[in-house]
């Protein structure tokens, strides 16, 4: 796979109680040289001043596999993926339980990489948020990642414009 190239910057704010946690988001893409398909990445390029990665050392990767001839989800599936993310944001991010750091979409897979205070805290809040909705076709993989290695390795691979 070729190096990942950045393509767009966006600023997003997430309200946490009475304080705002502003994160700078960026998008990047990588092209598979074998089939020409693109994988699109959305990631936090810069965290708000005062943000401490040491408070969220549990990596939670939510995966959603899908079938696709072009590698990307259908519009209907993409809408459901957005719904899932919109349900999780107030439950795990706005409560300070977890931070969404990286999202990748392509080659038949969407992955959300969160860093959480604990597996129990993340799963408890996520289950509460999703319990009244039709089941989503996701798997959740959890591991300790005190150094945010997955996120840091990704960021190091991104080519700067």
Closest CA to 63 of 47, 37, 81, 87: 81
| Number of other residues whose CB lies within 10 A of the CB of residue 131 | 7
Span 125-154, pLDDT tens digits: 999 999 999 999 999 999 999 999 999 999
Span 98-107, pLDDT tens digits: 999 999 999 9
What is the predicted pLDDT for the residue at 3?
A: 44
Better-predicted residue by pLDDT, 160 or 21: 160
Please state the domain extents for the chain: 4-159
Sequence-distant (≥ 6) Cβ neighbours of residue 71 within 8 angstroms? 32, 35, 37, 38, 39, 106, 107, 108
Evaluate if residue 18 carries a pLDDT over 90.
Answer: no
Span 99-131, pLDDT tens digits: 999 999 999 999 999 999 999 999 999 999 999
Stretch 17-41: mean pLDDT? 82
- Exposed/middle/buried for 119, CB within 10 Å: 0-12, 13-18, 19+? middle
Closest CA to 97 of 3, 39, 8, 21: 21
Chain mean position to CA 156:
17
- 22 pLDDT band (50/70/90 cuts)? confident
End-to-end CA distance of the chain: 18
């Amino acid at each position: 796979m070729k190096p990942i190239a950045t393509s767009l910057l966006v600023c997003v704010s997430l309200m946490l109680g009475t304080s705002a946690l502003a994160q700078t988001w960026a998008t990047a893409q990588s092209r598979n040289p074998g089939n020409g398909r693109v994988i699109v990445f959305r990631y936090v390029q810069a965290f708000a001043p005062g943000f401490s990665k040491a408070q969220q050392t549990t990596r939670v990767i939510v995966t959603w596999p899908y079938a696709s001839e072009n590698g990307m989800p259908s519009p209907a599936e993409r809408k459901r993926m957005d719904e899932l993310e919109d349900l999780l944001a107030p439950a795990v991010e706005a409560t300070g339980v977890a931070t969404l750091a990286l999202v990748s979409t392509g080659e038949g897979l969407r992955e959300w990489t969160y860093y959480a205070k604990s597996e129990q805290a993340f799963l408890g809040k996520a289950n509460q948020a999703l319990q009244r909705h039709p089941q989503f076709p996701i798997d959740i993989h959890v591991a300790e990642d005190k150094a945010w290695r997955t996120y840091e390795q990704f960021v190091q691979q991104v080519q700067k414009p």
